[in-house]
Amino acid sequence: MSRFDSVRRWYQTYEKFPKTTGIISAIALGLLGGLAFFFRLGSIGLIDETEPMFADAARRMLLTGDWITPYYNGETRFDKPPLVYWLMAIAYKIVGVNAWGARLPSAFAALGLMILLFILLRKFGFGTIAAAADPTSPKSQRQLWLAAWIGSSLVALNLQTIVWARQGVADMLLNGCFSGGLICFFYGYGSGGKAINRWLPNSWYIAAYVLLACAVLAKGPVGIVVPGMVILVFLLYLGKFREVFTEAKPLMGTIIFLAIAAPWFVLVTLRNGQAYIDSFFGYHNVERFTGVVNGHNAPWYFYFLVVLIGFLPWSVYLPGAIARLQLHRPSLWRQAPREAHLALFAGVWFWVVFIFFTIAVTKLPSYTIPLLPAAAILVALFSSYGIETPQRLSKGFLGSAIANVVFGLILSGFMLYSPRVIGDDPAAPDLAATFAQSNLAWWGFGIWLVGSLMLIAMVQRRSPLGIYLSNSVIMVALIALVLLPVGALIDQERQSGLREIAHLITTDQRPNEAIAMVGFEKPSLVFYSGQDIHFINPDQEDGIAAINAIATEANPSFLLITGADTLGELPLADKTVETLLERKPYQLLRVERQ
Protein backbone atom coordinates (compact mmCIF):
# COMPACT_ATOMS: atom_id res chain seq x y z
CA MET A 1 0.00 0.00 0.00
CA SER A 2 1.44 3.38 -1.02
CA ARG A 3 1.80 6.29 1.40
CA PHE A 4 -0.90 8.16 -0.52
CA ASP A 5 -3.29 5.23 -0.07
CA SER A 6 -2.59 5.26 3.68
CA VAL A 7 -3.37 8.95 3.91
CA ARG A 8 -6.55 8.52 1.90
CA ARG A 9 -7.63 5.59 4.06
CA TRP A 10 -6.99 7.62 7.23
CA TYR A 11 -8.99 10.56 5.85
CA GLN A 12 -11.94 8.30 5.09
CA THR A 13 -12.05 7.01 8.68
CA TYR A 14 -10.25 9.64 10.79
CA GLU A 15 -13.19 10.04 13.18
CA LYS A 16 -12.50 6.48 14.40
CA PHE A 17 -8.98 7.43 15.56
CA PRO A 18 -9.45 10.53 17.75
CA LYS A 19 -6.06 10.26 19.45
CA THR A 20 -4.12 10.07 16.18
CA THR A 21 -6.31 12.74 14.61
CA GLY A 22 -5.77 14.97 17.65
CA ILE A 23 -1.99 14.64 17.42
CA ILE A 24 -2.02 15.42 13.70
CA SER A 25 -4.30 18.40 14.37
CA ALA A 26 -1.99 19.76 17.09
CA ILE A 27 1.03 19.50 14.78
CA ALA A 28 -0.85 21.18 11.93
CA LEU A 29 -2.08 23.99 14.20
CA GLY A 30 1.43 24.55 15.49
CA LEU A 31 2.92 24.71 12.00
CA LEU A 32 0.22 27.04 10.68
CA GLY A 33 0.34 29.30 13.74
CA GLY A 34 4.12 29.32 13.59
CA LEU A 35 4.10 30.46 9.96
CA ALA A 36 1.35 33.04 10.37
CA PHE A 37 2.35 34.53 13.72
CA PHE A 38 5.95 33.68 14.67
CA PHE A 39 8.00 33.08 11.51
CA ARG A 40 10.44 36.01 11.12
CA LEU A 41 8.45 37.92 13.73
CA GLY A 42 11.43 39.98 14.86
CA SER A 43 13.22 40.19 11.51
CA ILE A 44 11.94 43.69 10.83
CA GLY A 45 12.14 46.62 13.20
CA LEU A 46 9.26 48.38 14.91
CA ILE A 47 7.02 50.22 12.47
CA ASP A 48 6.16 53.87 13.10
CA GLU A 49 4.07 55.39 14.44
CA THR A 50 2.02 53.45 17.02
CA GLU A 51 4.03 50.28 17.62
CA PRO A 52 7.18 51.94 19.04
CA MET A 53 5.05 53.91 21.54
CA PHE A 54 3.80 50.67 23.08
CA ALA A 55 7.26 49.12 22.96
CA ASP A 56 8.92 52.11 24.60
CA ALA A 57 6.32 52.36 27.37
CA ALA A 58 7.03 48.72 28.23
CA ARG A 59 10.79 49.34 28.09
CA ARG A 60 10.46 52.20 30.56
CA MET A 61 8.35 50.08 32.91
CA LEU A 62 11.10 47.48 32.94
CA LEU A 63 13.79 50.15 33.38
CA THR A 64 12.13 52.17 36.15
CA GLY A 65 10.22 49.42 37.95
CA ASP A 66 7.07 51.57 37.83
CA TRP A 67 4.40 49.05 36.80
CA ILE A 68 1.48 51.41 37.47
CA THR A 69 1.90 54.53 35.33
CA PRO A 70 2.95 54.02 31.68
CA TYR A 71 5.35 56.61 30.26
CA TYR A 72 6.47 57.33 26.72
CA ASN A 73 9.02 59.99 25.73
CA GLY A 74 9.02 61.49 29.20
CA GLU A 75 5.24 61.89 29.43
CA THR A 76 2.44 59.75 30.82
CA ARG A 77 0.76 57.50 28.27
CA PHE A 78 -2.82 56.80 29.27
CA ASP A 79 -4.07 55.52 25.90
CA LYS A 80 -4.34 51.91 27.03
CA PRO A 81 -4.36 49.94 30.30
CA PRO A 82 -1.17 48.11 31.28
CA LEU A 83 -1.62 44.44 30.34
CA VAL A 84 0.15 44.74 26.99
CA TYR A 85 3.01 46.69 28.62
CA TRP A 86 3.36 44.12 31.39
CA LEU A 87 3.51 41.23 28.93
CA MET A 88 5.98 43.05 26.68
CA ALA A 89 8.20 43.79 29.67
CA ILE A 90 8.13 40.12 30.68
CA ALA A 91 9.05 39.18 27.11
CA TYR A 92 11.93 41.70 27.21
CA LYS A 93 13.28 39.95 30.30
CA ILE A 94 13.29 36.66 28.38
CA VAL A 95 14.34 37.59 24.82
CA GLY A 96 15.74 41.10 25.21
CA VAL A 97 14.43 44.59 24.53
CA ASN A 98 13.68 44.30 20.82
CA ALA A 99 10.91 44.02 18.25
CA TRP A 100 10.62 40.26 18.82
CA GLY A 101 9.85 40.80 22.50
CA ALA A 102 7.41 43.62 21.77
CA ARG A 103 5.41 41.42 19.38
CA LEU A 104 5.36 38.17 21.33
CA PRO A 105 2.20 39.03 23.35
CA SER A 106 0.25 39.63 20.13
CA ALA A 107 1.55 36.45 18.50
CA PHE A 108 0.74 34.29 21.53
CA ALA A 109 -2.71 35.87 21.83
CA ALA A 110 -3.45 34.91 18.21
CA LEU A 111 -2.12 31.38 18.71
CA GLY A 112 -4.15 30.96 21.90
CA LEU A 113 -7.26 32.12 20.06
CA MET A 114 -6.64 29.51 17.34
CA ILE A 115 -6.40 26.78 19.96
CA LEU A 116 -9.52 27.88 21.85
CA LEU A 117 -11.52 28.08 18.65
CA PHE A 118 -10.39 24.59 17.68
CA ILE A 119 -11.49 23.24 21.07
CA LEU A 120 -14.86 25.01 20.81
CA LEU A 121 -15.63 23.77 17.30
CA ARG A 122 -14.44 20.26 18.06
CA LYS A 123 -17.12 20.13 20.76
CA PHE A 124 -19.97 22.21 19.31
CA GLY A 125 -19.24 22.69 15.59
CA PHE A 126 -22.42 21.04 14.31
CA GLY A 127 -23.39 22.08 10.80
CA THR A 128 -27.11 21.78 11.56
CA ILE A 129 -29.40 21.67 14.57
CA ALA A 130 -30.31 18.07 13.72
CA ALA A 131 -26.68 16.95 13.86
CA ALA A 132 -26.46 17.99 17.52
CA ALA A 133 -29.13 15.40 18.37
CA ASP A 134 -26.64 12.59 17.66
CA PRO A 135 -23.19 14.00 18.47
CA THR A 136 -21.45 10.62 18.68
CA SER A 137 -22.42 9.37 15.23
CA PRO A 138 -19.55 9.00 12.73
CA LYS A 139 -21.07 11.67 10.48
CA SER A 140 -21.36 14.19 13.33
CA GLN A 141 -17.84 13.42 14.52
CA ARG A 142 -16.42 13.95 11.05
CA GLN A 143 -18.18 17.27 10.78
CA LEU A 144 -16.92 18.37 14.21
CA TRP A 145 -13.32 17.61 13.21
CA LEU A 146 -13.78 19.43 9.90
CA ALA A 147 -15.33 22.48 11.55
CA ALA A 148 -12.47 22.62 14.07
CA TRP A 149 -9.81 22.39 11.36
CA ILE A 150 -11.44 24.96 9.11
CA GLY A 151 -12.37 27.45 11.82
CA SER A 152 -8.98 27.46 13.53
CA SER A 153 -7.15 27.76 10.21
CA LEU A 154 -9.34 30.68 9.16
CA VAL A 155 -8.23 32.57 12.27
CA ALA A 156 -4.67 32.45 10.92
CA LEU A 157 -5.28 32.68 7.18
CA ASN A 158 -6.70 36.16 6.81
CA LEU A 159 -5.01 39.49 6.26
CA GLN A 160 -6.28 41.27 9.37
CA THR A 161 -5.20 38.63 11.85
CA ILE A 162 -1.80 38.24 10.22
CA VAL A 163 -1.15 41.99 10.32
CA TRP A 164 -2.26 42.57 13.92
CA ALA A 165 -0.79 39.37 15.33
CA ARG A 166 2.61 40.56 14.12
CA GLN A 167 2.46 44.04 15.69
CA GLY A 168 3.39 45.09 19.20
CA VAL A 169 0.14 46.87 20.01
CA ALA A 170 -2.89 46.07 22.19
CA ASP A 171 -5.40 45.08 19.49
CA MET A 172 -4.61 41.38 19.14
CA LEU A 173 -4.26 40.99 22.89
CA LEU A 174 -7.73 42.50 23.27
CA ASN A 175 -9.03 40.10 20.64
CA GLY A 176 -7.49 37.10 22.36
CA CYS A 177 -9.03 38.00 25.73
CA PHE A 178 -12.35 39.35 24.35
CA SER A 179 -12.95 36.44 21.98
CA GLY A 180 -11.44 33.92 24.37
CA GLY A 181 -13.91 35.07 27.02
CA LEU A 182 -16.84 34.59 24.66
CA ILE A 183 -15.57 31.16 23.60
CA CYS A 184 -15.28 30.07 27.23
CA PHE A 185 -18.74 31.44 27.99
CA PHE A 186 -20.29 29.40 25.20
CA TYR A 187 -18.37 26.28 26.16
CA GLY A 188 -19.79 26.57 29.66
CA TYR A 189 -23.26 27.32 28.31
CA GLY A 190 -23.20 24.51 25.76
CA SER A 191 -21.96 22.03 28.35
CA GLY A 192 -25.09 22.59 30.39
CA GLY A 193 -23.75 25.22 32.75
CA LYS A 194 -23.61 22.88 35.76
CA ALA A 195 -22.03 24.72 38.68
CA ILE A 196 -19.07 23.39 40.66
CA ASN A 197 -20.97 24.13 43.88
CA ARG A 198 -23.50 26.63 45.22
CA TRP A 199 -20.91 29.43 45.08
CA LEU A 200 -18.74 28.66 42.06
CA PRO A 201 -20.08 28.43 38.50
CA ASN A 202 -18.95 26.06 35.76
CA SER A 203 -15.15 26.25 35.31
CA TRP A 204 -15.65 27.56 31.77
CA TYR A 205 -17.70 30.46 33.12
CA ILE A 206 -14.88 31.18 35.57
CA ALA A 207 -12.43 31.22 32.64
CA ALA A 208 -14.75 33.66 30.84
CA TYR A 209 -14.75 36.02 33.83
CA VAL A 210 -10.95 35.87 33.98
CA LEU A 211 -10.44 36.50 30.26
CA LEU A 212 -12.95 39.35 30.11
CA ALA A 213 -11.19 40.98 33.07
CA CYS A 214 -7.95 40.64 31.11
CA ALA A 215 -9.70 42.20 28.09
CA VAL A 216 -10.46 45.25 30.24
CA LEU A 217 -6.81 45.38 31.30
CA ALA A 218 -5.85 45.13 27.62
CA LYS A 219 -7.96 47.98 26.26
CA GLY A 220 -10.46 49.27 28.79
CA PRO A 221 -14.26 49.18 29.14
CA VAL A 222 -14.77 47.87 25.59
CA GLY A 223 -13.38 44.57 26.88
CA ILE A 224 -16.49 43.96 28.98
CA VAL A 225 -19.15 46.22 27.45
CA VAL A 226 -19.21 44.66 23.97
CA PRO A 227 -18.84 40.99 25.04
CA GLY A 228 -21.51 41.66 27.66
CA MET A 229 -23.80 42.95 24.93
CA VAL A 230 -23.13 39.83 22.83
CA ILE A 231 -24.07 37.53 25.72
CA LEU A 232 -27.11 39.63 26.66
CA VAL A 233 -28.54 39.73 23.12
CA PHE A 234 -27.91 36.00 22.69
CA LEU A 235 -29.70 35.06 25.91
CA LEU A 236 -32.61 37.45 25.37
CA TYR A 237 -33.11 36.09 21.84
CA LEU A 238 -33.36 32.56 23.26
CA GLY A 239 -35.37 33.58 26.32
CA LYS A 240 -32.71 32.07 28.58
CA PHE A 241 -31.46 35.15 30.41
CA ARG A 242 -32.79 34.25 33.86
CA GLU A 243 -31.76 30.61 33.52
CA VAL A 244 -28.15 31.36 32.56
CA PHE A 245 -27.90 34.35 34.90
CA THR A 246 -28.61 32.02 37.80
CA GLU A 247 -26.19 29.26 36.76
CA ALA A 248 -23.36 31.71 35.96
CA LYS A 249 -23.22 32.88 39.61
CA PRO A 250 -22.87 36.59 38.74
CA LEU A 251 -21.95 37.62 42.29
CA MET A 252 -18.92 35.33 42.33
CA GLY A 253 -18.21 36.29 38.73
CA THR A 254 -18.18 39.97 39.66
CA ILE A 255 -15.78 39.28 42.53
CA ILE A 256 -13.43 37.36 40.19
CA PHE A 257 -13.68 40.05 37.53
CA LEU A 258 -13.03 42.96 39.90
CA ALA A 259 -10.23 41.15 41.71
CA ILE A 260 -8.33 41.01 38.41
CA ALA A 261 -9.40 44.19 36.61
CA ALA A 262 -9.98 46.76 39.36
CA PRO A 263 -6.70 47.05 41.36
CA TRP A 264 -4.67 48.70 38.62
CA PHE A 265 -7.41 51.21 37.79
CA VAL A 266 -7.63 52.15 41.47
CA LEU A 267 -3.86 52.51 41.84
CA VAL A 268 -3.34 54.52 38.65
CA THR A 269 -6.20 56.86 39.57
CA LEU A 270 -4.85 57.38 43.09
CA ARG A 271 -1.44 58.20 41.66
CA ASN A 272 -2.50 60.39 38.71
CA GLY A 273 -5.95 61.65 39.69
CA GLN A 274 -8.16 63.59 37.31
CA ALA A 275 -5.50 63.67 34.59
CA TYR A 276 -5.85 59.91 34.15
CA ILE A 277 -9.65 59.94 34.30
CA ASP A 278 -9.92 62.72 31.71
CA SER A 279 -7.38 61.17 29.36
CA PHE A 280 -8.31 57.49 29.48
CA PHE A 281 -12.03 57.44 30.18
CA GLY A 282 -12.87 60.81 28.65
CA TYR A 283 -10.67 61.17 25.58
CA HIS A 284 -9.74 57.59 24.69
CA ASN A 285 -13.12 55.96 25.37
CA VAL A 286 -16.11 58.33 25.46
CA GLU A 287 -14.79 60.72 22.81
CA ARG A 288 -13.73 57.89 20.49
CA PHE A 289 -17.29 56.60 20.53
CA THR A 290 -19.08 59.96 20.30
CA GLY A 291 -16.66 61.99 18.19
CA VAL A 292 -13.75 61.82 15.75
CA VAL A 293 -10.38 61.33 17.44
CA ASN A 294 -7.09 61.94 15.59
CA GLY A 295 -8.94 62.36 12.28
CA HIS A 296 -10.07 58.71 12.19
CA ASN A 297 -13.49 59.21 10.65
CA ALA A 298 -15.01 57.14 7.86
CA PRO A 299 -18.39 56.63 6.14
CA TRP A 300 -21.03 54.31 7.62
CA TYR A 301 -20.17 51.50 5.18
CA PHE A 302 -16.48 51.53 6.16
CA TYR A 303 -16.57 48.23 8.06
CA PHE A 304 -18.32 46.41 5.21
CA LEU A 305 -15.19 47.12 3.17
CA VAL A 306 -12.84 46.30 6.05
CA VAL A 307 -14.43 42.89 6.62
CA LEU A 308 -14.66 42.16 2.89
CA ILE A 309 -10.99 42.92 2.26
CA GLY A 310 -9.50 41.99 5.62
CA PHE A 311 -11.17 38.56 5.76
CA LEU A 312 -10.62 37.61 2.12
CA PRO A 313 -11.00 35.09 0.61
CA TRP A 314 -13.37 33.76 3.28
CA SER A 315 -15.50 36.92 3.53
CA VAL A 316 -17.39 36.04 0.34
CA TYR A 317 -18.91 33.08 2.22
CA LEU A 318 -20.23 35.22 5.08
CA PRO A 319 -23.54 36.30 3.46
CA GLY A 320 -24.50 32.68 2.80
CA ALA A 321 -23.30 31.57 6.24
CA ILE A 322 -25.35 34.29 7.95
CA ALA A 323 -28.44 33.75 5.79
CA ARG A 324 -28.64 30.06 6.74
CA LEU A 325 -29.00 31.03 10.42
CA GLN A 326 -32.60 32.13 9.78
CA LEU A 327 -32.44 34.71 12.55
CA HIS A 328 -36.03 35.71 11.76
CA ARG A 329 -37.17 32.38 13.27
CA PRO A 330 -36.32 32.51 16.99
CA SER A 331 -38.69 29.62 17.72
CA LEU A 332 -36.42 27.36 15.64
CA TRP A 333 -33.49 28.09 17.93
CA ARG A 334 -35.46 28.08 21.17
CA GLN A 335 -36.56 24.51 20.49
CA ALA A 336 -33.00 23.36 19.79
CA PRO A 337 -30.69 22.00 22.52
CA ARG A 338 -27.95 24.25 23.87
CA GLU A 339 -25.15 22.38 22.15
CA ALA A 340 -26.71 23.29 18.77
CA HIS A 341 -26.61 27.05 19.44
CA LEU A 342 -23.03 27.83 18.38
CA ALA A 343 -23.97 29.10 14.92
CA LEU A 344 -26.55 31.44 16.46
CA PHE A 345 -24.05 32.64 19.06
CA ALA A 346 -21.49 33.38 16.35
CA GLY A 347 -24.09 35.28 14.33
CA VAL A 348 -25.05 37.44 17.31
CA TRP A 349 -21.38 37.95 18.16
CA PHE A 350 -20.61 39.09 14.60
CA TRP A 351 -23.49 41.54 14.33
CA VAL A 352 -23.19 43.08 17.80
CA VAL A 353 -19.50 43.89 17.26
CA PHE A 354 -20.12 45.11 13.71
CA ILE A 355 -23.05 47.36 14.64
CA PHE A 356 -21.41 48.71 17.81
CA PHE A 357 -18.31 49.94 16.01
CA THR A 358 -20.31 51.15 13.01
CA ILE A 359 -22.25 53.41 15.40
CA ALA A 360 -19.00 54.65 16.98
CA VAL A 361 -17.87 57.88 15.29
CA THR A 362 -14.14 57.16 15.40
CA LYS A 363 -13.40 54.31 13.00
CA LEU A 364 -10.25 52.25 12.56
CA PRO A 365 -9.73 48.95 10.70
CA SER A 366 -8.48 47.25 13.87
CA TYR A 367 -11.81 47.78 15.65
CA THR A 368 -13.38 44.85 13.76
CA ILE A 369 -10.75 42.31 14.83
CA PRO A 370 -12.99 40.90 17.62
CA LEU A 371 -15.61 39.80 15.08
CA LEU A 372 -13.15 37.72 13.05
CA PRO A 373 -13.42 34.60 15.27
CA ALA A 374 -17.21 34.77 14.90
CA ALA A 375 -16.80 35.06 11.14
CA ALA A 376 -14.43 32.07 11.19
CA ILE A 377 -17.02 30.00 13.10
CA LEU A 378 -19.80 30.91 10.66
CA VAL A 379 -17.74 30.08 7.57
CA ALA A 380 -16.37 26.89 9.19
CA LEU A 381 -19.88 25.58 9.91
CA PHE A 382 -21.05 26.56 6.42
CA SER A 383 -18.06 24.87 4.75
CA SER A 384 -17.88 21.74 6.91
CA TYR A 385 -21.55 21.01 6.29
CA GLY A 386 -20.97 21.42 2.55
CA ILE A 387 -17.96 19.10 2.63
CA GLU A 388 -19.89 16.35 4.41
CA THR A 389 -23.03 16.73 2.26
CA PRO A 390 -21.73 17.62 -1.25
CA GLN A 391 -24.77 16.02 -2.85
CA ARG A 392 -26.94 18.68 -1.18
CA LEU A 393 -24.67 21.63 -1.88
CA SER A 394 -26.75 24.79 -1.51
CA LYS A 395 -27.12 27.51 -4.11
CA GLY A 396 -25.79 29.89 -1.47
CA PHE A 397 -22.52 27.99 -1.19
CA LEU A 398 -22.13 27.69 -4.96
CA GLY A 399 -22.86 31.39 -5.37
CA SER A 400 -20.26 32.19 -2.73
CA ALA A 401 -17.72 29.96 -4.47
CA ILE A 402 -18.32 31.72 -7.78
CA ALA A 403 -17.86 35.07 -6.04
CA ASN A 404 -14.65 33.64 -4.60
CA VAL A 405 -13.37 32.96 -8.13
CA VAL A 406 -14.37 36.42 -9.33
CA PHE A 407 -12.60 38.14 -6.44
CA GLY A 408 -9.53 35.99 -7.01
CA LEU A 409 -9.32 37.05 -10.65
CA ILE A 410 -9.90 40.70 -9.73
CA LEU A 411 -7.15 40.53 -7.12
CA SER A 412 -4.74 38.94 -9.57
CA GLY A 413 -5.22 41.93 -11.85
CA PHE A 414 -5.05 44.37 -8.94
CA MET A 415 -1.67 43.02 -7.88
CA LEU A 416 -0.16 44.18 -11.18
CA TYR A 417 -1.66 47.62 -10.64
CA SER A 418 -0.78 47.80 -6.93
CA PRO A 419 2.51 49.78 -7.24
CA ARG A 420 0.48 52.68 -8.62
CA VAL A 421 -1.87 52.85 -5.64
CA ILE A 422 0.84 53.14 -2.99
CA GLY A 423 0.29 56.55 -1.48
CA ASP A 424 2.95 59.21 -1.07
CA ASP A 425 4.74 58.73 2.24
CA PRO A 426 7.29 61.44 3.07
CA ALA A 427 9.03 58.94 5.34
CA ALA A 428 9.54 56.50 2.43
CA PRO A 429 9.66 58.49 -0.82
CA ASP A 430 11.05 55.57 -2.86
CA LEU A 431 8.67 52.90 -1.54
CA ALA A 432 6.44 52.67 -4.62
CA ALA A 433 9.40 52.47 -7.02
CA THR A 434 11.19 49.86 -4.90
CA PHE A 435 8.03 47.78 -4.64
CA ALA A 436 7.55 47.92 -8.41
CA GLN A 437 11.14 46.71 -8.95
CA SER A 438 10.84 43.89 -6.40
CA ASN A 439 8.59 41.62 -8.51
CA LEU A 440 6.39 41.07 -5.45
CA ALA A 441 3.42 42.35 -7.43
CA TRP A 442 4.08 39.64 -10.02
CA TRP A 443 4.27 37.02 -7.29
CA GLY A 444 0.91 38.19 -5.99
CA PHE A 445 -0.51 38.14 -9.50
CA GLY A 446 0.69 34.59 -10.06
CA ILE A 447 -0.60 33.29 -6.73
CA TRP A 448 -4.08 34.73 -7.21
CA LEU A 449 -4.25 33.66 -10.86
CA VAL A 450 -3.15 30.07 -10.26
CA GLY A 451 -5.32 29.93 -7.16
CA SER A 452 -8.33 31.17 -9.11
CA LEU A 453 -7.78 28.48 -11.75
CA MET A 454 -7.66 25.89 -8.97
CA LEU A 455 -10.90 27.31 -7.57
CA ILE A 456 -12.58 27.14 -10.98
CA ALA A 457 -11.69 23.45 -11.22
CA MET A 458 -13.03 22.80 -7.70
CA VAL A 459 -16.26 24.71 -8.38
CA GLN A 460 -16.80 22.68 -11.55
CA ARG A 461 -16.33 19.50 -9.52
CA ARG A 462 -18.60 20.91 -6.78
CA SER A 463 -15.95 20.11 -4.20
CA PRO A 464 -16.26 22.26 -1.03
CA LEU A 465 -13.17 20.54 0.39
CA GLY A 466 -11.19 21.40 -2.74
CA ILE A 467 -12.39 25.01 -2.51
CA TYR A 468 -11.29 25.29 1.12
CA LEU A 469 -7.89 23.71 0.38
CA SER A 470 -7.36 25.95 -2.67
CA ASN A 471 -8.06 29.07 -0.62
CA SER A 472 -5.75 27.82 2.12
CA VAL A 473 -2.93 27.24 -0.36
CA ILE A 474 -3.46 30.75 -1.75
CA MET A 475 -3.21 32.33 1.71
CA VAL A 476 -0.17 30.30 2.81
CA ALA A 477 1.61 31.25 -0.43
CA LEU A 478 0.68 34.91 0.03
CA ILE A 479 2.03 34.93 3.59
CA ALA A 480 5.34 33.29 2.68
CA LEU A 481 5.98 34.84 -0.73
CA VAL A 482 4.31 38.27 -0.60
CA LEU A 483 3.20 39.55 2.82
CA LEU A 484 6.41 38.79 4.73
CA PRO A 485 8.66 40.14 1.94
CA VAL A 486 6.48 43.27 1.71
CA GLY A 487 7.01 43.80 5.44
CA ALA A 488 10.78 43.52 4.96
CA LEU A 489 10.64 45.97 2.06
CA ILE A 490 8.66 48.52 4.09
CA ASP A 491 11.16 48.14 6.91
CA GLN A 492 14.05 48.73 4.52
CA GLU A 493 12.53 51.80 2.90
CA ARG A 494 10.78 53.36 5.89
CA GLN A 495 12.50 52.29 9.10
CA SER A 496 16.09 51.13 8.59
CA GLY A 497 17.45 54.67 8.16
CA LEU A 498 15.86 55.74 11.44
CA ARG A 499 17.47 52.82 13.25
CA GLU A 500 20.88 53.82 11.85
CA ILE A 501 20.32 57.36 13.09
CA ALA A 502 19.25 56.06 16.51
CA HIS A 503 22.38 53.88 16.70
CA LEU A 504 24.63 56.84 15.88
CA ILE A 505 22.87 58.90 18.54
CA THR A 506 23.69 56.26 21.15
CA THR A 507 27.39 56.33 20.19
CA ASP A 508 27.99 60.03 19.37
CA GLN A 509 25.66 61.90 21.73
CA ARG A 510 27.50 64.24 24.09
CA PRO A 511 26.62 64.32 27.80
CA ASN A 512 23.26 66.04 28.38
CA GLU A 513 22.93 66.83 24.67
CA ALA A 514 19.26 67.25 23.74
CA ILE A 515 17.70 65.64 20.66
CA ALA A 516 15.06 67.21 18.44
CA MET A 517 13.18 65.99 15.39
CA VAL A 518 11.59 68.65 13.20
CA GLY A 519 8.94 68.02 10.56
CA PHE A 520 8.50 64.35 11.46
CA GLU A 521 7.36 62.45 14.54
CA LYS A 522 8.88 58.99 14.56
CA PRO A 523 8.58 57.20 17.92
CA SER A 524 10.96 54.46 16.78
CA LEU A 525 13.78 56.97 17.40
CA VAL A 526 12.72 57.15 21.04
CA PHE A 527 12.74 53.36 21.40
CA TYR A 528 15.97 52.61 19.56
CA SER A 529 17.95 55.54 20.96
CA GLY A 530 16.59 55.09 24.48
CA GLN A 531 16.34 58.89 24.74
CA ASP A 532 13.56 61.45 25.08
CA ILE A 533 13.18 63.46 21.88
CA HIS A 534 11.65 66.89 21.26
CA PHE A 535 9.20 66.48 18.36
CA ILE A 536 8.65 69.89 16.79
CA ASN A 537 6.19 70.97 14.12
CA PRO A 538 7.79 73.95 12.32
CA ASP A 539 4.41 75.05 10.98
CA GLN A 540 3.06 75.77 14.45
CA GLU A 541 3.50 79.23 15.93
CA ASP A 542 5.74 78.07 18.75
CA GLY A 543 7.74 75.69 16.57
CA ILE A 544 10.57 78.10 15.74
CA ALA A 545 10.77 79.30 19.33
CA ALA A 546 11.04 75.71 20.51
CA ILE A 547 14.01 75.11 18.22
CA ASN A 548 15.81 78.22 19.49
CA ALA A 549 15.14 77.23 23.10
CA ILE A 550 16.81 73.82 22.87
CA ALA A 551 20.39 75.05 22.91
CA THR A 552 21.36 76.72 26.20
CA GLU A 553 24.55 78.11 27.70
CA ALA A 554 24.88 74.98 29.83
CA ASN A 555 24.32 72.72 26.81
CA PRO A 556 25.22 74.75 23.72
CA SER A 557 24.75 71.92 21.21
CA PHE A 558 21.90 69.60 20.32
CA LEU A 559 21.23 66.84 17.82
CA LEU A 560 18.67 67.59 15.13
CA ILE A 561 16.88 65.14 12.82
CA THR A 562 15.02 66.72 9.94
CA GLY A 563 14.46 66.51 6.21
CA ALA A 564 16.40 68.34 3.53
CA ASP A 565 13.27 70.25 2.49
CA THR A 566 12.72 71.50 6.03
CA LEU A 567 16.32 72.35 6.89
CA GLY A 568 16.41 75.58 4.88
CA GLU A 569 13.36 76.92 6.70
CA LEU A 570 14.84 76.56 10.19
CA PRO A 571 16.45 79.43 12.17
CA LEU A 572 19.97 78.06 12.06
CA ALA A 573 21.84 80.90 10.34
CA ASP A 574 23.51 81.97 13.60
CA LYS A 575 24.50 78.43 14.51
CA THR A 576 27.16 75.95 13.45
CA VAL A 577 25.64 72.93 11.72
CA GLU A 578 27.54 69.65 11.26
CA THR A 579 26.06 66.80 9.24
CA LEU A 580 26.61 63.49 11.02
CA LEU A 581 24.53 61.15 8.86
CA GLU A 582 22.18 61.28 5.89
CA ARG A 583 19.59 58.58 5.28
CA LYS A 584 16.91 59.59 2.84
CA PRO A 585 14.72 61.47 3.70
CA TYR A 586 16.41 62.27 7.04
CA GLN A 587 19.53 64.13 8.11
CA LEU A 588 21.16 63.86 11.52
CA LEU A 589 22.84 67.14 12.39
CA ARG A 590 24.73 68.58 15.34
CA VAL A 591 23.74 72.19 15.92
CA GLU A 592 25.89 74.44 18.13
CA ARG A 593 25.50 77.99 19.31
CA GLN A 594 28.23 80.27 18.05
Asked if residue 570 belongs to a domain, the reply is yes
Given 389, 416, 443, the domain boundary residue is 416
Q: Quick one: 508 and 386 in the same domain?
A: no
Q: Quick one: 409 and 507 in the same domain?
A: no
pTM, two decimal places: 0.93
Coil, strand or helix at 198: coil
Q: Quick one: 176 and 273 in the same domain?
A: yes
Q: Quick one: 390 and 514 in the same domain?
A: no
pLDDT tens figures, 530-548: 999 999 888 777 777 777 7
Q: Quick one: 200 and 54 in the same domain?
A: yes
Find out whether 362 and 297 touch, Cβ atoms under 8 Å.
yes
Q: Quick one: 73 and 195 in the same domain?
A: yes
Q: Quick one: 116 and 261 in the same domain?
A: yes
Would you state the pLDDT for residue 180?
A: 97
CB atoms within 10 A of CB 499: 18
Asked if residue 71 belongs to a domain, the reply is yes
pLDDT tens figures, 182-218: 999 999 999 887 877 878 899 999 999 999 999 999 9
Asked if residue 491 belongs to a domain, the reply is no
pLDDT tens figures, 92-126: 999 999 999 999 999 999 999 999 999 999 999 98
Given 416, 442, 468, the domain boundary residue is 416
Asked if residue 53 belongs to a domain, the reply is yes
Q: Quick one: 406 and 507 in the same domain?
A: no
Who contacts 360 (Cβ-Cβ below 8 Å, separation ≥6)? Answer: 288, 289, 367
Q: Which residues of the chain have pLDDT under 50?
A: 1
Asked if residue 430 belongs to a domain, the reply is no
pLDDT tens figures, 482-509: 999 999 999 999 999 999 999 999 999 9
Given 416, 435, 468, the domain boundary residue is 416
Q: How many domains does the chain have?
A: 2
Domain carrying residue 586: 496-593
Would you state the pLDDT for residue 1?
A: 46
Would you state the pLDDT for residue 88?
A: 97
Would you state the pLDDT for residue 134?
A: 80
Asked if residue 484 belongs to a domain, the reply is no
Q: 3-state DSSP helix/strand/coil percent for the chain, to nearest 5?
A: 70, 5, 25
Vertex 258 angle, CA 255 and 261, to 5°: 150
DSSP structure class, residue 537: -
Using CA of residue 465, residue 312, residue 349, residue 370, what is the dihedral sign?
positive
Asked if residue 483 belongs to a domain, the reply is no
Asked if residue 179 belongs to a domain, the reply is yes
Would you state the pLDDT for residue 349?
A: 98
The CA distance from 21 to 144, in Å, is 12
Find out whether 556 and 593 touch, Cβ atoms under 8 Å.
yes
Q: Quick one: 35 and 125 in the same domain?
A: yes
Q: Quick one: 81 and 224 in the same domain?
A: yes
